[in-house]
Structures are given as C-alpha cells and as structure tokens.
C-alpha cells in the first residue's frame, strides 16, 4: 500500500510541476490528468480540465498545440527553447528534489515510509529523463529537430515517435503489472 500511495503522490507532484510551469510561461494547459483511460471525475477551472482517470499508473498534461504546427506564440512548439525545457523537465526535477528531501529526512528521523517515498520519487524523476520518446527526457532532443528540418515536418515526426513510444511504454507497463501485483501482495514492495 505504501508503494501505491507513494507512486500516486509522485505522479501528482510531477504533473503539477508541468502544469504550474506551463502556466507561468503562459502556455495553455487544456487537460491535467492523473491516470489514463476512462475518466472517473473531472472539473474545469480557468480553461483547464482537471481529471482523474481509471488507470493510475501515470498522468499527463495536454498543452494547447503541444506538438502541432500553429502560429500561436504561446503554444509549446513556438516557445523559446529554454522555456520548452522548463515546462518539459520541471516534473522530473520536482520528483528528484522531493525524492532526495524525502529520503534524507526519512534517514534523519528514522522514518522508513519517507525513505521509501524518496527512493520512488527520485527513481521516477531520473527514469523519466531517459531520452525515450513519450518520456520527458526525449523532448529536448526532439525539439532540436526543428533546427535541422522545417518545423512542420519536425512536429509530424515528433508526433509519430511520441505516439509509438507511448504505445511501447504502456505495453511494457501492462506486461509488468502482474509482477508488480505479486510484489505488492507478497509485501516485497
């Protein structure tokens, strides 16, 4: 149970960091979702739909024209590169920072649960930095394609790579789910 609670908190922190950073740089967030799949609950506030979905193994922020060619200066593809990086990598940084804080505070106060949360959060932040399409770490590289090929075609290629990367990652998640359930049931996680 500690694992699931820690994972949920990590996902909320991660996605909230993306949301807040996007709003700070004036990039419109259409959807903020905790979980994937069928929507269980939602509400709209200041132009953003906040939702909780059935499969809580991740989350996402849907930014306006995230990987679409458009002329809106506040759309993610049209932001300066450094602002794109802030929006895309903020979730990873928040996971790493809160994870390290949680781990060291847990060690200091001899709190196993806090150490465990810290370990999960740090690991989630670091693995999300991997340059695999659909993970946050791929975007800095993918956005550099705009420097080599015209933006319209770079965004089409990004969409293709991210879609297939997401399908691959979700397939791996689903395949690993029985093992995760086994670890939780046997108290190993």
Q: Which of the residues are catalytic?
A: 15
Q: List per-residue pLDDT tens for the chain, 189 residues long.
A: 788 899 999 999 999 999 999 999 999 999 999 998 899 999 999 999 999 999 887 899 999 888 888 889 989 999 999 999 999 999 999 999 999 999 999 999 999 999 999 999 999 999 999 999 989 999 999 999 888 999 889 889 999 999 999 899 888 877 887 887 787 778 776
Q: Using CA atoms, how far apart are residues 59 and 14, in angstroms rounded to an integer?
A: 9
Residue 187 is classified by DSSP as T
Residue carrying structure tokens 């990598």: 89
Beta-carbon neighbour count of residue 87 at 10 Å?
26
Q: Provide the β-strand partners of residue 36.
A: 55
Q: Provide the β-strand partners of residue 43.
A: 50
Q: Provide the β-strand partners of residue 41.
A: 52
Q: Using CA atoms, how far apart are residues 141 and 70, in angstroms rounded to an integer?
A: 20
Query: Helices (DSSP H) in 25-150: which residue ranges?
Result: 81-108, 112-127, 139-144
The full DSSP string for 123-144 is HHHHHTTS--TTSGGGHHHHHH
Query: At 38, which helix (H) or strand (E)?
Result: strand 29-45
Which tokens is 136 given? 């946050």
Beta-carbon neighbour count of residue 7 at 10 Å?
19
Q: Provide the β-strand partners of residue 51.
A: 33, 42
Q: Is the Cβ–Cβ distance between 61 and 22 less than 8 Å?
A: yes
How confident is the model at residue 85, as a pLDDT? 95
Q: Using CA atoms, how far apart are residues 34 and 21, in angstroms rounded to an integer?
A: 17
Query: At 40, which helix (H) or strand (E)?
Result: strand 29-45
Which tokens is 122 given? 């740090």
Query: At 177, which helix (H) or strand (E)?
Result: helix 151-185
């Amino acid at each position: 149970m500690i694992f699931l609670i820690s994972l949920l908190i990590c996902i909320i922190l991660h996605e909230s960091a993306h949301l807040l950073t996007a709003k700070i740089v004036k990039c419109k967030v259409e959807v903020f979702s905790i979980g994937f799949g069928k929507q269980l609950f939602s509400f709209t506030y200041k132009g953003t739909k906040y939702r909780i979905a059935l499969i809580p193994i991740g989350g996402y922020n849907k930014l306006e024209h995230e990987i679409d060619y458009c002329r809106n200066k506040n759309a993610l593809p049209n932001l300066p590169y450094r602002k794109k990086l802030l929006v895309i990598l903020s979730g990873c940084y928040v996971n790493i920072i809160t994870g390290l804080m949680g781990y060291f505070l847990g060690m200091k106060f001899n709190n196993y649960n806090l150490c465990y949360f810290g370990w999960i959060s740090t690991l989630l932040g670091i693995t999300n930095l991997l340059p695999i399409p659909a993970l946050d770490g791929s975007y800095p590289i993918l956005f550099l394609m705009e420097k080599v090929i015209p933006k319209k075609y770079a965004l089409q290629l990004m969409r293709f790579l991210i879609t297939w990367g997401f399908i691959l990652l979700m397939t791996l998640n689903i395949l690993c789910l029985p093992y995760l359930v086994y670890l939780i049931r046997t108290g190993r996680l």
